[in-house]
Structure 1
Amino acid sequence: MSDALCVLATGGTYAARTLYANSEETLHSAKRPVLLNGIPDLMARPDLADRALTVTLQRIPAAQRRAEKALMDDFEVVRPRVLGALLDVLVGALKRLPTTELQQLPRMADFALLMTAAEPALPWEPGSFMRTYAAMQVRSASLILDDEPVADALRMFVDAQGQWSGTVKELLKGLNETVTPTPRPQVDWPATPKALGVSLRRLAGALGKAGYSVMHLGRSNKGERYALSKMQAHPAEASQDARETDGDLGVLGAHQDDAVEQTF
């Protein structure tokens, strides 16, 4: 499901044989934003977390709850102004987009550029979106790594070794001998070098945000080789923002009321 959502977020195509034809092919292309709603953290895979924005909604006190009809009646009154405000923001973003640049582009590069270009029209302080976005990704990576026994073992292994390079088979042997989690999870723990290699590729991005480098060195006659190390330049700024904002893009909403008043 995570892989399918990633494809849908950045665009993908499904090919199938055309009905009642032997040699024709029909392509179905899709690229859409997706809303996921739930109480637990739904970003269980690093690749999906890199493509997601997180907003934590606060519980509504009993005194502030409203019937749906009353809520929708009020929404219909303000809907034209809300639409006008969104269009004004989009116009401002498109006007600034050709001259907007970022020092480092995240995975959702075009989206990040558009949101950065929209900052003056919202209005947000320059750079506030990318700071909050980076902090949110650090928080998401931390939550993912906390639930991964392989990630815990790799961080302990790198902390003890400093730097390490070798084959996946040698790494699995070292993890089993030195920092195997206790009690050892029979289901989640990789039993073969191939399974550990899959975990390394899947967790490399999240480990990088936590300050650990996982670099693929190619394949030798002994198997796939990796280099593990602790990054000298840990993303401290993003981590600090994560502690201050809890990695939640909802904190940007503090400026949205001002944007609505100015636009109206």
Structure 2
Amino acid sequence: MSDDEKNPARQVITDYAQSHFRYFRTVDGTVYAQRTGHPVARPIRSQGTTGSHRQELMVGLFRDGVGVFNGTALKEALDLIEALALTERVQPTHIRVAPGFDGATWLDLGRDDGRSVRIHPTGWDVRVPDPEEVCWRRTQLTGELPLPAKDTNGKGIDLLMRLCNFADAKTEALAIAWLIGCLEPSVPVPAPFLTGPQGAGKSTGGRMLVRIIEGMTGDLRRAPKDEENMITAVAAGWITALDNLSHLPPDLSDLMCCIITGAESIKRALFTDGDVVRSRYRRPMLLTGIDVGVIRPDLAERLLTLRLERPRVRRTEAELWAEYAEILPIVLGSLLDLTVKVRAVQAETPTDLRMADFAHLCAQLDTATGFGTLEAYRASLDDLNDDVIEGDLLAQTVLKHAAELTPGVEERMTSAEWLHALTALYSGEECRPLPKGWPTTGKVLSDRLRRIQPTLAARGVLVDWGRTSAARYIELSRQAPPPPPEQQTAF
């Protein structure tokens, strides 16, 4: 038989692969493989500990009796498969939570059989999703979840709150709203900041919330030291939980803002001069700590304060987690029941809050349960605004100056004039020395005022910028306080 009549090994591998797997590419050009009828996708080039398609293909060829092939034949076959897949339609991959057809969302249970939870306003059930609808991507951070219990009558929520040490019912409602938000892939949710005195169980409470979505292997971690490591950790899981934060440097604060509301990172691809790798991310976050120091205003609008108190009775870790593992199917089932109930109701979207999607979710939760979540969310933002003001001497000085203004009357000055006026007000007659970080130029002052503008507006002080024919100016005004409820006119 001539060489042309022989069936090359690469052709045998290619035929087997195309009959047992579906190949597609993502928007960034990465090629994935899905075993026929199974929703989990593996990148064909990955050599990670979670397994690559190359390894999966080798095992399939051996177990089905096709043969054992050398590396050259596998490489040539995979090169051809990758080239063919680049001509196929684009389909995204998802970690843990994914949008589906007909307004549904999916929750990956991390099981080998691919069974997942389909959540719809009409109900939820456990099934294997159509690979054309959902493509799951799994990493070492993808833990397995138990099958959720049916017909729980909300018992799981009570069992969970009994194990956590939240300070009051309003805090519990915010925690529930955040968990529901984590099951919606298209809605950014604020990052809960679990705080309280030493020994309040902040780390334990954080783990309990995370493990409802990420499974018993989900855990808290220390904040990475640089942006690249943080983005790598965020891209490998769904919830990023940072434990025992004592301060938030500006770079980490800005990065957390990007993670919560969504951003993109681009870096050079390895072993190339001009190719790049795109990393898009928007993930739920969770933080724990007693005090993180000065909170920047842009991050404060993306946080959710959850206060805990010290428990009266202490339990061993073994007892606590054994009970938690036992009730986790009931907790997950109750959370899914409540999620369906919340998504089925209609509610108005508050127009005065930055995280409008989460505010709308809180309004839906209140309509469905009457928890008072939206009121608690507003109170949480007020507390965070107070924290911002207490940590910003410039904001305190502006508020002190605005207190002398007549409500509704604007005061205009150039940035340099404002710098002189505010500096004189802070120093006072005793010529107090200026603190570190105090603005040194009008431009720096203008930039700082833009950053704290939402915080000042929450306290009724409005800052605006404009220009006359002579120069640019900054305008400061104070809103009149609303009349008492008994004096408001009824319509």
How would you bin the TM-score normalised by the shorter chain? 0.7 to 0.9
Comparing 66-75 with 145-154, which one deviates more in the overlay?
Answer: 145-154
Unaligned runs of 5+ in 2: 1-251, 486-491
Higher relative contact order (CA 8 A, sep 6+): 1
AA of the residue aligned to 2:454 = G
| SS in structure 2 of the partner of residue 35 of structure 1 | strand
Equivalent residue, structure 2, for 1:117: 364
Which residue number corresponds to residue 78 of structure 1? 327
| 8 Å Cα contact 1:149/1:188 also seen in 2 | no
Task: Name the SS for the 2:476 alignment partner.
Answer: strand
TM-superposed CA distance for 1:17, in Å, is: 2.1
**Residue 175 of structure 1 corresponds to which residue in structure 2?**
422
Whether 2:443 is the aligned partner of 1:199: answer no
Name the amino acid aligned to 2:435: Q
Please give the alpha-carbon distance, in whole angstroms, between the structure 2 residues aligned to 1:236 and 1:48.
32
Distance 1:136 1:21, change over 3 A: same
Distance in 2, matches of 1:59 and 1:104, equals: 36
Shift of 1:178: 3.5
**2:393 paired residue among 132, 149, 152:** 149
TM-score (norm 2): 0.44
1:216 corresponds to: 465
Label 1:159 to 1:220 Cα distance change in 2 as closer, same or farther (>3 A). Answer: farther
Whole-angstrom distance in 2 between the partners of 1:69 and 1:91: 33
Partner of 2:106: none
Q: Which residue does the alignment assign to 1:45?
A: 296
Seen in structure 2, the aligned counterparts of structure 1 residues 35 and 9 have a Cα distance that, compared at 3 Å, is same
Q: Is the 8 A contact 1:93 1:115 kept in 2?
A: no
Equivalent in the alignment of 2:412: 165
Answer whether contact 1:145 1:152 (CA < 8 A) is retained.
yes
Structure 1 vs Structure 2: percent identity of aligned residues? Answer: 29
Letter in 2 for 1:104: T
Does the residue aligned with 1:229 lie in a helix, a strand or coil?
Answer: strand
The Cα shift of 1:48 comes to 0.7
1:133 alignment counterpart? 377
CA distance in structure 2 between the aligned counterparts of 1:166 and 1:94, rounded to whole angstroms: 49
- Quickly say closer, same or farther: Cα 1:103–1:118, change in 2 above 3 A: closer
Going from structure 1 to structure 2, the CA distance change for 1:112 and 1:23 (only over 3 Å counts) comes to same
Q: CA deviation at 1:41?
A: 4.8
Match of 1:230 in 2: 478
Name the structure 2 match of 1:258: none
Partner of 1:243: none
Q: 1:133 to 1:43 in 2, by over 3 A?
A: farther
Deviation at 1:108, TM superposition (A): 1.0
The answer to whether the Cα contact below 8 Å between 1:46 and 1:141 also exists between their aligned partners in 2 is: yes
> Closer, same or farther in 2 for the Cα pair 1:219/1:132, shift >3 Å?
farther
- Distance, in Å, in 2 between the alignment partners of 1:234 and 1:206 is 18
Cα RMSD (Å): 2.4
Does the alignment pair 1:102 with 2:349? yes
Aligned letter for 2:422?
L
1:105 deviates by: 4.2
SS at match of 2:287: coil
Give the TM-score of the pair, scaled to structure 1: 0.78
Higher radius of gyration, 1 or 2: 2
Check whether the contact 1:168–1:197 (CA below 8 A) recurs between aligned residues. yes
Q: Which amino acid aligns with 1:212?
A: V
Q: Quick check: which one's helix share is greater?
A: 1
Contact 2:266/2:279 (8 A) holds in 1: yes
Report the Cα distance in structure 1 between the residues aligned to 2:484 and 2:378, rounded to whole angstroms.
11
Contact 1:214 1:226 (8 Å CA) reproduced: yes
- How far apart, in 2, do the equivalents of 1:213 and 1:105 lie? 15
Distance in structure 2 (CA, Å) of the matches to 1:20 and 1:45: 39
